[in-house]
Amino acid sequence: MRLEKIGGRTYAIHYPSSVGIYVLPNQECILIDSGASQVYASRTLRIIEQQGWKLQAIINTHSHGDHSGGNKYLQDSSGCRIYTSSLEAAYLNHPVLAAYSLYHSVPMLEFKNKYYTVPSGTINTVIQGDELEFQGEKMQIRKLPGHSLGHIGIETPDKVLFAGDSLVDKKIIAQSGFYHLEDIESQFKTLEILKQSQLIYLSHGGLLDNGEAVIQSNQELLNNNLDLLATIIGKGCTREEMVSRLADKGVKVNKKNYFRLLISTSAYAAFLHNTGRVQIAVQEGRLVFY
């Protein structure tokens, strides 16, 4: 855990899911995401207070718990406002939707306990435009869907773009080629948008030394995964069988990540179908891609 000055009045606190900070002229500050839990949130608040800053607002890049898990604690402690996009606000205001997205119904208890109880605070403002203004300071909002449907990036007046999980660094690519994605077409477009930014800060990876190379690696990963899945589908398989065949090729599959991997696999399969590379049919009561 350490506070890093990135440039101007833009800072970040390094956690497994890092938190961005922009300090306003009156020493109030804006957080980009809140970390994974109350534990991290309490550390963040302590750092803010040690610097003589006051928390005014949190902007969530997206609703996943490792980015919003500190929302409620920070809001209860400081009275700060919370901002995010309309789609992500729906998930934060109704955590049940996260579980439904995984399991498509009321989930098994071990998933219900995890995803129903994320304390997300009260979303005060749904972001409608492409900027937010605080005391005359404008934060640019970039729509970066793909990892999640309403994912956004926040660019500070210092031109630092906090990109959340819209881009992953090469270490994560090496560890897991099938990281969580919900919309492949949107992800391709998001990578093109990210090329316009000079300074990109990732929640898992920090400030990029060579953003262009990382973006290219992400584009290559998408194309490689599409080719791999098209090969796996071959003459026909269901979504569940795709996951099993990925496991045969060395992709880690366990109870913890199974449903998220199924979501990503489904997103790739949908893109292959929508672009005419595979077809679908119901065979013997099974939805088969071929």
**What pLDDT sits at residue 107?**
82
For residue 28, count other CB atoms closer than 10 A to its CB: 17
**What pLDDT sits at residue 175?**
84
Contact (Cβ atoms closer than 8 angstroms) between residue 159 and residue 199: yes
Sign of CA pseudo-dihedral 75, 95, 64, 182: negative
Tokens found for residue 171 = 């270490």
Q: Extract long-range pairs of 96-105: CB within 8 Å, 24+ residues apart.
A: 98/63, 98/65, 101/263, 102/259, 102/260, 102/263, 103/259
Three-state DSSP class for 280? strand
Fill in the DSSP letter of residue 237. Answer: B
**What pLDDT sits at residue 116?**
57
**What pLDDT sits at residue 115?**
54
Tokens found for residue 238 = 């269901």
Contact (Cβ atoms closer than 8 angstroms) between residue 271 and residue 227: no
Characterize the bridge pairing of strands 206-207 and 280-283. unpaired
**What pLDDT sits at residue 96?**
83
Tokens found for residue 115 = 């995803």
Contact (Cβ atoms closer than 8 angstroms) between residue 44 and residue 1: no
Q: What are the boundaries of each domain within the chain?
A: 3-166, 234-289
Closest CA relative to residue 47, chosen from 93, 14, 82, 79: 14
Q: What is the CATH number of domain 3-166?
A: 3.60.15.10
pLDDT in tens, the chain (290 residues): 789 999 999 999 999 999 999 999 999 999 999 999 999 999 999 999 999 999 999 999 999 999 999 999 999 999 999 999 999 999 999 988 888 888 888 888 877 665 556 668 999 999 999 999 999 999 999 999 999 999 999 999 999 999 999 999 988 888 878 899 999 999 999 999 999 999 999 999 999 999 999 999 999 999 999 999 999 999 999 999 999 999 999 999 999 899 999 999 999 999 999 999 999 999 999 999 99
